[in-house]
């Protein structure tokens, strides 16, 4: 099974017959009350195949690029420069969290702007149940207005607008100090410029 999705639609079309077969085989094992080990083996294989195929299906519904994501990051970069250019070294004035995973999650939320999106649905896009929430928190940390709530017992996320909360810019720069491993002395000096304290 491939892990790269250069052509999600082609991947979905390729994986779909395997998924149908695997689900059918698991159904037969359950119907015939086969051994627990056989059922478990079939379940684990089917679960992995389903996760990969659902990721391909979700990605096949997205554009290959999300201009709004790049525009927001560009606006944020301009604001960071406006506030701290010449006061803080340029290497700490970059905009973090620009991976393809961040872009995919943002694109899905943008498709449903002002509507709650189930966390499980977002996980399908990354095939990762552990780090999806972290990536969402990182997007929020950039000042993107993403609300967290619960609906029918499930976690949901809602992109409320395409405005950036510029009040979070000092925190963005602070995170860069950690990410880029500023020395303790430099960190202390720059946190003073930011008006923040160390954690």
Res 13 pLDDT > 60: yes
- Residue % of the chain over a pLDDT of 70: 95
Provide the pLDDT for residue 5. Answer: 45
Provide the pLDDT for residue 55. Answer: 84
Provide the pLDDT for residue 130. Answer: 66
Provide the pLDDT for residue 145. Answer: 96
Average pLDDT over residues 153-176: 95
pTM: 0.81
DSSP character string of 119-167: HHHHHHHHT-TTTHHHHHHHHHHTTEEEEEEEETTEEEEEEEEEEE-GG
The string of pLDDT tens digits covering residues 124-141 is: 887 665 688 899 999 999
Say if CB 64 and CB 97 are below 8 A apart: no
Q: Which of 41-50, 128-137, 149-158 has the lowest mean pLDDT?
A: 128-137
pLDDT band for position 192 (cuts 50, 70, 90): very high
The string of pLDDT tens digits covering residues 56-86 is: 888 888 888 899 999 999 999 999 999 999 9
Res 180 pLDDT > 60: yes
Provide the pLDDT for residue 3. Answer: 41
What 144-151 contacts at long range (C-beta under 8 Å, 24+ apart), as own/partner pairs, is 144/72, 144/106, 146/109, 149/116, 151/116, 151/118
Say if CB 125 and CB 59 are below 8 A apart: yes
Average pLDDT over residues 132-156: 93
Q: How far apart are CA 55 and CA 84, in angstroms?
A: 40
Res 24 pLDDT > 60: yes
The string of pLDDT tens digits covering residues 84-100 is: 999 999 999 999 999 98
Residue 48 three-state SS:
helix
Residue 85 three-state SS:
strand
Distances (CA, A) of 150 to 122, 139, 180: 14, 19, 35
The pLDDT mean for the chain works out to 90
């Amino acid at each position: 099974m491939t892990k790269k999705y250069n052509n999600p639609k082609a991947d979905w079309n390729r994986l779909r017959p395997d998924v149908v077969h695997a689900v059918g085989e698991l159904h037969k094992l359950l119907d015939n009350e086969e051994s627990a080990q056989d059922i478990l083996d079939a379940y684990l294989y089917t679960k992995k195949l389903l996760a990969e195929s659902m990721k391909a299906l979700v990605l096949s519904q997205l554009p290959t690029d999300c201009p709004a994501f790049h525009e927001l990051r560009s606006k944020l970069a301009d604001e960071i420069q406006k506030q701290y250019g010449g006061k803080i070294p340029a290497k700490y004035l970059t905009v973090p969290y620009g991976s393809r995973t961040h872009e995919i999650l943002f694109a899905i939320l943008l498709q449903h702007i002002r509507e709650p999106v189930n966390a499980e649905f977002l996980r399908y896009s990354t095939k990762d149940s552990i780090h999806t929430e972290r990536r969402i928190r990182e997007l929020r940390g950039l000042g993107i207005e993403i609300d967290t709530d619960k609906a029918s017992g499930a976690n949901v996320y809602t992109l409320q607008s395409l405005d950036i909360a510029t009040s979070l810019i000092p925190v963005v720069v602070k995170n860069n100090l950690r990410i880029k491993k500023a020395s303790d002395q430099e960190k202390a000096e720059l946190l003073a410029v930011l008006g923040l304290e160390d954690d």
